Amino acid sequence: MKQRIWLMLALTLLVAVSAAQAQAPQTTDDREAVRLAVLDYVEGVYNVDPSRIERSVHPDLAKRGYYRENGKTEYVSNPMTYTRLIEVAKTWNKSGKLRKDAPKEITIFEVLDQTASAKLVAEWGIDYFHLAKYDGKWKIVNVLWQSPPPKKP
């Protein structure tokens, strides 16, 4: 009987250790690299610097956004490719319309050894990111965003 209890405890411990190892802990360097990739994304658009988009976004980007047109309450969907995002970065703030204190609040949800997820609050709304590591560099591969939700009265 004691052997069975010890065997069960040993198996439970082995399963717990295996599960912990399967989810490799994030490193401070990886967490910072993910933050910098998201920062490149937002500052690439804010500062009219498409090279920062090229550095932080994978060419296979899948981006989909939801926004409300002026005076309307329903959201419109807007898919965007990597190429289109580069063009947006070249023109979106070219006239300097962006206010100096425009938000760029980055929240990192999780960083594993190969994938990560994050959130950005920016001038245009809220973006959710999936990132993956390619040749040792973190790249944004998916973005789902929406314009700010309507303010409640």
- Structure confidence by residue, pLDDT tens digits, 79-124: 999 999 999 999 999 999 999 999 999 999 999 999 999 999 999 9
Q: Is the pLDDT of residue 39 over 90?
A: yes
Radius of gyration of the chain (CA): 21
Is the residue at 12 inside a domain? no
pTM: 0.81
Is the residue at 73 inside a domain? yes
Domain containing 41: what range?
27-146
pLDDT at res. 14: 39
Is the residue at 35 inside a domain? yes
Provide the token pair at 147: 């314009």
Average pLDDT over residues 61-70: 94
Q: How far apart are CA 85 and CA 44, in angstroms?
A: 10
Closest CA to 127 of 108, 146, 110: 146
pLDDT at res. 112: 97
Is the residue at 57 inside a domain? yes
- pLDDT confidence band for 128 (50 / 70 / 90): very high
Is the residue at 17 inside a domain? no
Q: Which residues make Cβ contacts (< 8 Å) with residue 150, sequence separation at least 6?
A: 68, 73
Residue-wise DSSP of 33-99:
HHHHHHHHHHHHHHTT-HHHHHHHEEEEEEEEEEEE-TT--SEEEEEE-HHHHHHHHHHTTTT--S-
Q: What percent of the chain has pLDDT over 90?
A: 71
Provide the token pair at 116: 């990560």
Cα angle for residues 91, 42, 99 (degrees, 5° grid): 70
Is the residue at 125 inside a domain? yes
Q: Is the pLDDT of residue 1 over 90?
A: no
- pLDDT confidence band for 17 (50 / 70 / 90): very low
Closest CA to 40 of 106, 95, 132: 106
pLDDT at res. 8: 42
pLDDT at res. 5: 43
Average pLDDT, the chain: 86
What CATH number has the domain bearing residue 127? Answer: 3.10.450.50
Closest CA to 137 of 47, 33, 54, 41: 33
Higher pLDDT, 133 or 148: 133
Is the residue at 92 inside a domain? yes
pLDDT at res. 2: 56
Tell me which residue has tokens 């990886």: 30
Domain count, the chain: 1
